Amino acid sequence: MPRTLAFVALLAFASPVAGQPVAVPVDLTNFRFTPAQIELKANVPAILQLRNAASGGHSFSAPAFFAAAHVDPASAGLIREGKIEVPAHSTVQVTLTAAAGQYPLKCSHPFHSSLGMKGTIVVR
Ligand SMILES: [Cu+2]
């Protein structure tokens, strides 16, 4: 690829176009979220990419966050009682537009949050 084209491709990746969802990867491992503080822009569509490379399931439980967000209808079925289950060795993607605020996040599986699997979602 010519150097200028590679540069343009990089720019397109780095600067989200208005209206295009921004990909936000979050890793779920034993027993933490990375990043533990997830930063989102208010009123900008985002695709949360919940990646679980562990051999056991985890969840992304944030009832207040999901209640305040506008969840894309295609993703709404993934959220049950304010949480998304992410099975072992899988990635779940949810498209939503977050509302400004600060929200607690945890894994709801037994003992996981007390082992450190919790975080914060900051939307501004
Ligand atoms: Cu967990």
**Model confidence pLDDT, tens digit, residues 83-121:** 999 999 999 999 999 999 999 999 999 999 999 999 999
SS3 assignment, position 114 = coil
Binned at pLDDT 50, 70 and 90, residue 12 comes out as: very low
Task: Supply the mean pLDDT for the chain.
Answer: 90
| pLDDT reported for residue 18 | 59
For residue 117, the CA-to-ligand 1 centroid distance in Å is 6
For residue 78, the CA-to-ligand 1 centroid distance in Å is 17
For residue 51, the CA-to-ligand 1 centroid distance in Å is 12
**φ/ψ of residue 40, rounded to 5:** -130, 155
For residue 44, the CA-to-ligand 1 centroid distance in Å is 28
In words, the CATH class of domain 20-123 is mainly beta
Q: How many CB atoms lie within 10 A of CB 65?
A: 24
For residue 102, the CA-to-ligand 1 centroid distance in Å is 21
> What ranges do the domains of the chain cover?
20-123
For residue 22, give both structure tokens.
């921004």
* Alpha carbon of residue 56 to chain centroid: 19
Maximum Cα–Cα distance across the chain: 52
Give pTM, 2 decimals.
0.85
For residue 21, the CA-to-ligand 1 centroid distance in Å is 26
For residue 91, the CA-to-ligand 1 centroid distance in Å is 14
For residue 48, the CA-to-ligand 1 centroid distance in Å is 17
For residue 20, the CA-to-ligand 1 centroid distance in Å is 30
| pLDDT reported for residue 7 | 46
